[in-house]
Amino acid sequence: MADTRDYFVIEGGHPLRGAVEASGNKNAALPALAASLLTDEPVILHNLPAIRDVETMAGLLARLGVEVERLGPHDWKLCAAEVKPPTEGGAAIDLFRSIRGSVLITGPLLGRHRRVSIPMPGGDRIGRRRVDTHFLAFRALGAEMEVNGHFYRVRADRLRGTSLLLDEASVTGTENAVMAAVLASGTTVIRNAASEPHVQDLCRMLNAMGAQIDGIGTNRLIIEGVERLHGVEFTIGADHIEVGSYIAMAAATGSEITIRNASPEHLEMVRLVYERLGVHFETQGADIVVPAEQPRRIIPDLGGAIPSISDAPWPAFPADLMSITLVMATQADGVVLFHDKMFESRLFFVDKLISMGARVVLCDPHRAIVYGPSPLHGYEMESPDIRAGMALLVAALAAQGTSIIRNVRQIDRGYEAIEKKLRPLGAQIERRSEM
């Protein structure tokens, strides 16, 4: 795990060339780890990314009594034969507060042990990230909840299947509801469910453990409760957010990159949005190829109107690609409006891009206008969150001169050994640590 004093030194302006392997989906890894709590038999997971958040989640489970063994760089074995539900004075509190994904243990522990007390989860500071959807779902399944300071207490003598309409298509809210419902008695129907690739991975994993979930990949999930789940060996899919980040990096730097095992079936909306910015990529089997020659010209809407790129739940454009795509747009010819509907602080990183020479107007916490192309120059800055950190790294690679990015532990939370993956492509990037 990287030291908190680590920083990157990047000499930009060098085109990249070569192939890089897609990592496993970060947002699938955390619920898959949490799902190990649903059985007392061994669970073996493959293709988990070697990132800080996975290590933190595994450490959290270990403190709860789960036997955790790392079989290889991307393979883990877990056995929750004996579990100690967290307490308000327990030793795992610091880990709960360090990642947003910690909230995902609530559904499994409620389903299997009928009680759980957790602190408010941590994660990126990109605005308010409500957890109401999770607990409204638990309540509909028969649980009772109380808030004590910064702790949530949830308990249920028995969970019963129900017809449940989520108040928003929350990814982790859906995952928590599903993990609680698989061991509830009767049938649960979840409407307005999130359907992202990582939600699909979790449902397939649970079915392989003996759950009965229908409607995977849709916004309506039907779950027939079972008495118990068994162990499983499961491989999670590629991280479409990382793949989208590499495509944007190639386009912004005028590079030719091949992304191996990229699960292109999850990139249809990314393709549509990137093409509006004059960026194209090719599919070759399971691989993605980004050509070096790109038009990089923003296509106006009909009638010559300024186009808008916005995020929304799957299958719309992913919120986690907004920051990276905005940087890519600074290198395209034209004007485009970015509208982040989901998080009110995600776009605040653009002040750093402006300092690098980008022509960006931050209209309000949710909207920014990009005027491109803008030649960028090196700058010293700090990564505020995972996705903004990767966006700044893309900007630094596209810029002329040397940039320094501090607080790179944020990037490490979501991107596996990024500098080791980029150097073979020709990137001039070095990790250093302050003494």
Q: What is the pLDDT of residues 34-63, one digit of tens each?
A: 999 999 999 999 999 999 889 989 998 998
Q: How many CB atoms lie within 10 A of CB 402?
A: 16
- What angle (nearest 5°) sits at the alpha carbon of residue 289, between those of residues 288 and 293? 145
Which among 53, 124, 201, 412 is annotated as catalytic? 124
Collapsed DSSP state (helix, strand, coil) of residue 435: coil
124 as an active site residue: the answer is: yes
Collapsed DSSP state (helix, strand, coil) of residue 37: helix
Share the mean pLDDT of the chain.
91
Alpha-carbon distance of 329 to 376, in angstroms, equals 12
Residue given tokens 């800080």 in the structure block: 52
Lookup: tokens for 216: 């995977």
At residue 126, the pLDDT reads: 41
Q: Which CATH number fits domain 6-23+238-433: 3.40.190.80, 2.40.30.10, 3.30.56.10, 3.65.10.10?
A: 3.65.10.10
Contact call for residues 127 and 100 (beta carbons, < 8 A): no
DSSP string across 417-429 = THHHHHGGGT-EE
**Contact residues for 364 (Cβ-Cβ < 8 A; gap 6+):** none
Residue ranges in the chain whose pLDDT is less than 50? 1-2, 123-128
**Contact residues for 136 (Cβ-Cβ < 8 A; gap 6+):** 166, 167
Q: Which of 375, 414, 395, 407 is nearest to 6 (CA)?
A: 407
At residue 100, the pLDDT reads: 66
Q: How many CB atoms lie within 10 A of CB 424?
A: 12
DSSP string across 255-314 = -EEEEES--GGG-HHHHHHHHHTT---EEETTEEEE-S----BPPPPGGGPPPEEE--ST
Alpha-carbon distance of 255 to 290, in angstroms, equals 8
Instruction: Enumerate the domain spans of the chain.
Output: 6-23+238-433, 26-235
Alpha-carbon distance of 68 to 17, in angstroms, equals 38
The pTM score is 0.91
Alpha-carbon distance of 319 to 322, in angstroms, equals 5
Contact call for residues 277 and 298 (beta carbons, < 8 A): yes
Between 132-140 and 171-181, two packed helices, what is the crossing angle to 10 degrees?
A: 20
325, amino acid identity: T
At residue 98, the pLDDT reads: 62
For the stretch 57-101, pLDDT in tens is: 999 899 889 999 999 999 999 999 988 776 655 555 666 666 767
Alpha-carbon distance of 217 to 199, in angstroms, equals 8
Q: Which CATH number fits domain 26-235: 3.65.10.10, 3.90.650.10, 3.10.20.340, 3.40.1280.10?
A: 3.65.10.10
At residue 2, the pLDDT reads: 47
| Fold match between domain 6-23+238-433 and domain 26-235 | yes
Enclosing H/E stretch for 236? none
Between 268-276 and 322-329, two packed helices, what is the crossing angle to 10 degrees?
A: 30
